[in-house]
Amino acid sequence: MPTPPGRKPRKAAPARQPLSQDLIVDTAIRVLDAEGLEAATMRRVAQELGTGAASLYAHVSGKEELRELMLDRVAGEVRLPVPDPARWQEQLKELAMETHRVLTSHRDIAQVSIGLIPTGSNLLSVAEAQLALMRAGGVPPRIAALAVDTLGMFVDADAIEGTIYSARLNGGAEAMEKFIHYLGEIRDFFKALPADRYPNVVAMADELTETGGDARFEFGLDILIRGIASYVDAPEPS
Amino acid sequence: MPTPPGRKPRKAAPARQPLSQDLIVDTAIRVLDAEGLEAATMRRVAQELGTGAASLYAHVSGKEELRELMLDRVAGEVRLPVPDPARWQEQLKELAMETHRVLTSHRDIAQVSIGLIPTGSNLLSVAEAQLALMRAGGVPPRIAALAVDTLGMFVDADAIEGTIYSARLNGGAEAMEKFIHYLGEIRDFFKALPADRYPNVVAMADELTETGGDARFEFGLDILIRGIASYVDAPEPS
DNA sequence: ACCTGAACACCGTTCAAGT
DNA sequence: ACCTGAACACCGTTCAAGT
C-alpha cells in the first residue's frame, strides 16, 4: 500500500526516546516507586520503554547492575552535612536518619544496599561524609572504617524491616492500616502462648509489638553512636 | 502385558516416603545448604522429592511459608544459655554469636529472617532466651523489647553481609579466595578514586577493605550491648 | 553500534481431574 | 484427603538476524 497524501510516512512511530542507561534507570525507579523492587524486572522495565528485555543488555550488564545503578541514583537524594567538629555525633545521627528517610521513600530499595560494597559515586559520597564527620570528631581510622559498615548495615536493616510489609501489600495508605492490624494479631498470638515456655514473650507482648515508629531506629542509632564516641581518645579494642 | 512370574507388581515404584511438611522442610534445607536460598524453589524441592510443585501446596501454603518453616527449623540448632545474672552481658553476646554462627552455617537463610516477626516455636525460644537474660540483668522491659529487635536486626544483617558473595558464587573453599580477590580489587578502586572528592575513602582504603572476619561483628555487638547495659538502673529515654 | 524476536531454561500458583 | 499434569502468567539471559 502506498502512503495516502497528507499523512507523514512513519519513521519512529511514537518518536520514542533512544535507550540509554539513564533512561533505563529512570524508568526502573518509576516502577520501583509505584510497585516495589520485585516489580522492577528487566522485562517490565523494557515493556515500560516500549521495547523487549533484550534491548536493555546493550546499556546494562544485567539485573544486578541495574539494581545497583538504581540504588546509586537514589543515594544522590541524600543531603550531606557540612562538618562541624563540635557537633559530629549529632551530625552523624542526622546523616543516618536522612539516609534512612531517602531509602524508605523508595519502597524496598534498601534490599539492594545490604551486603553491597558501595562503588557508585553517590554511595561513595555518603560514605565519605560519614568518614569526614568521624575523623573531625577524632574517631580513630580503624574504628571509623568499622563504624561505616556497622552504621550502614543498621540503616539498611531498619529500612528493610519498615518496608517489608507495606512492599508486599499493594502499598498506599491502607497498607499501614493492615500492618497495624497484623501487629494486633501478633500481640494476641504472643499473649496466647504457653506462659511456662515463653514467660517473657507473654509478659512483654505489648512492648514487643509496639510499632515504635522511628523510636526504635533512633534508639539503636543512639547506642551505636554512643559506642563509637567511646573510642575517641581511647585505646583501640584488642 | 501381564506381569512375568517372580516380579512383584509395582505399587509405589521407589516406595517413596509420603509427603509431609517435615519432609518438605528437610528437603528444602538440603537444597539450601547445597546451593543457597535461591535454589530452594517450590519446583526444585518438589523435583528432589520426585513429584511436582503442585503437590507441596497440600502441606505448605506457598513459598513464603516454606521459607519461614526453614528458618524456624534452623533456629532449632541455636544452643540456648542457662541464665546467670552475673554474666548477662557476656551471655547475651554469646547468644548473638551463636545465632550468627547457626545462620551463616545455612548459607543465606538470614535473608528470610530480616524483617520477619518471629512466630515459629524455635525462633520464639531464642527471643525468650534473650529477654530472660536482659530481665535477669535488670534491663527495663521497654528497653529489652527494643533491644531484641535491634540485636536481631544486627545479627541478621551481618549474616547476610557475610554470605552474600559466597552464596552468589558456587560456594565451597574457592569462593573465599574469590572474595578476597574481589576485596583487593575494591581496595585498588578506592585508592584510584579522585582524592579531592573522596579524601577519606582514598586515605582509608586499607581499613575499609579489611575483611575484619568476626571482628567487625563483635565490634558492633560490643557497642550495642554496652548501650543496652547503660539503661540498667537509668531513666528510660524520653 | 544498537536493537529486535524468538528461544531456552526456568519461576509460583491454580485448577480440574484422578485415586 | 492427597496427589497429579497441565496450564497460566510470568522470570533473566542469550543469540542470530536485522538496520
The CATH number for B195's domain is 1.10.357.10
Residues A75-108, buried b or exposed e (16+ Cβ, 10 A)?
beebebbebeeeebbebbbebbebbbebbbebbb
pLDDT attached to residue B15: 40
B99 CA, D1 C1': separation in Å? 39
A37: domain CATH number? Answer: 1.10.10.60
Closest CA to B67 of B114, B16, B126, B128: B114
Under 8 Å CB pairs connecting chains A and B tally to: 153
Same domain, B70 and B187: no
Judgement on whether residues B134 and B51 belong to the same structural domain of the protein: no
Q: Among the three residues B35, B50, B75, which one is the final residue of a domain in this structure?
A: B75
Q: By the 8 A CB rule, do A149 and A96 touch?
A: no
**Residue B47 is assigned to a structural domain of this protein:** yes
Nearest CA in chain A to B195: A128
Distances (CA, A) of A30 to A36, A60, A106: 9, 17, 9
Nucleotides of chain D within 7 Å of a protein C-beta? Answer: 2-7, 10-16
Q: Side chain identity at A207, as an amino acid letter? A: E
The pLDDT of A69-94, averaged and rounded, is 97
∠B127-B129-B134 over CA atoms, to 5°? Answer: 95
> Contact A91/A85 with Cβ under 8 angstroms?
no
Asked whether the predicted pLDDT for residue B86 surpasses 50, the reply is: yes
Residue B14 scores a pLDDT above 50: no
CA of B16 to C1' of D6 (A): 23
pLDDT the model gives residue A171: 53
* Cα separations in angstroms, B23 against B17, B107, B142: 9, 20, 39
CA of A58 to C1' of C1 (A): 9
> How many C-beta atoms lie closer than 10 Å to residue A35's C-beta?
15
Which of residues B61 and A176 earns the better pLDDT score? B61
Q: Say if residue A64 is in the same domain as residue A143.
A: no
- B94 in the same domain as B50: no
A156 and A184 co-located in one domain: yes
| pTM (two decimals) | 0.89
Name the domain boundary from A48, A75, A102.
A75
Whether A192 has a pLDDT exceeding 60, the answer reads: yes
Does A124 contact B198 at a Cβ distance shorter than 8 Å?
yes
A216-220, B34-38, B177-181, range with the lowest pLDDT = B177-181
B3 lies in some domain: no
Tell me, what amino acid is at A89? Answer: Q
Average pLDDT over residues A64-71: 97
Kindly tell me if the per-residue pLDDT of B80 is higher than 90: yes
> Where does the pLDDT of residue B223 fall: very low under 50, low under 70, confident under 90, or very high at 90 and above?
confident
The percent of residues in chain A predicted with pLDDT above 90, rounded, is 72
Chain B window 83-102: residues with CB closer than 7 Å to nucleic chain D are none
Contacts of B128 in chain A (CB under 8 A): 197-201
Are residues A169 and A202 located together in one domain of the fold?
yes
Residue B185 falls inside a structural domain: yes
Partners of B115 on chain A (C-beta within 8 Å) are 160-161, 164-165
* Residues A202 and A101 placed together within one structural domain of the fold: yes
Instruction: Give the pLDDT band of residue B216 (cuts 50, 70, 90).
Output: confident
A124 part of a folded domain: yes
User: Taking all residues of chain B, what is their mean pLDDT, rounded to a whole number?
Assistant: 88
Cβ atoms of residues A117 and A108 within 8 Å: no
Most trustworthy range by pLDDT among A106-120, A192-206, B209-223:
A192-206
pLDDT at B6 over 60: no
The C-alpha atoms of residue B177 and residue B188 are separated, in whole angstroms, by 17
Give the pLDDT of residue A161: 86
Mean per-residue pLDDT, B205-233: 87
A205, pLDDT greater than 70: yes
With contact defined as beta carbons under 8 Å apart, do B33 and B106 qualify?
yes
- Decide if A1 is inside a domain: no
| Same domain as A210, residue A96 | yes
Which of B161, B199, B210 faces A153 most closely, judged by CB atoms?
B161
Maximum Cα–Cα distance across chain A:
87
Range of the domain at A42: 21-75
pLDDT in tens, A211-227: 767 888 998 899 899 88
> Which nucleotides of chain C have an atom under 7 angstroms from any protein CB?
2-7, 10-16
Is any atom of nucleic acid chain D found less than 7 Å from the CB of residue B21?
no
Average pLDDT, chain A: 88
Please determine, for residue B19, whether its predicted confidence score (pLDDT) is greater than 50: yes
Residue B130 clears pLDDT 60, i.e. is over it: yes
Looking at the fold, whether B66 and B90 belong to one and the same domain comes out as: no
A66 and A106 assigned to the same domain: no
Quote the cell numbers at residue B52. 511436582
Q: Which band of pLDDT confidence, cut at 50, 70 and 90, is reported for residue A210?
A: confident
Q: What average pLDDT score do residues A64-81 get? A: 97
Identify whether A144 is part of a domain. yes
| Residues, chain A | 238
> In whole angstroms, what is the distance from residue B62 CA to residue A159 CA?
25
Chain A, nearest residue to B111 by Cα: A111
Nearest-5° angle of CA B52, CA B54, CA B57? Answer: 130
Is residue B227 very low, low, confident or very high in pLDDT (cuts 50, 70, 90)? confident
Residues A115 and A144 in one domain: yes
Give the per-residue pLDDT at A214: 81
The residue among B75, B104, B120 that closes a domain is: B75
Residue A7 counted as domain residue: no
Asked whether residue B199 is assigned to any structural domain, the reply reads: yes
SS (H, E, C) A49-96: CCCCHHHHHHCCCCHHHHHHHHHHHHHCCCCCCCCCHHHHHHHHHHHH
CA distances from B100 to B1, B74, B76, B223 (A): 59, 11, 13, 17
Instruction: Report residue B222 as a C-alpha cell.
Output: 560490643
**Percentage of chain A surpassing pLDDT 70?**
85
Q: Considering only CB atoms, which chain A residues are within 8 Å of B198? A: 124-125, 128
Number of domains within chain A: 2
Whole-number pLDDT of residue B180: 84
Are A150 and A33 members of one domain? Answer: no
Residue B191 has pLDDT above 90, yes or no: yes
pLDDT at residue A177, rounded to an integer: 79
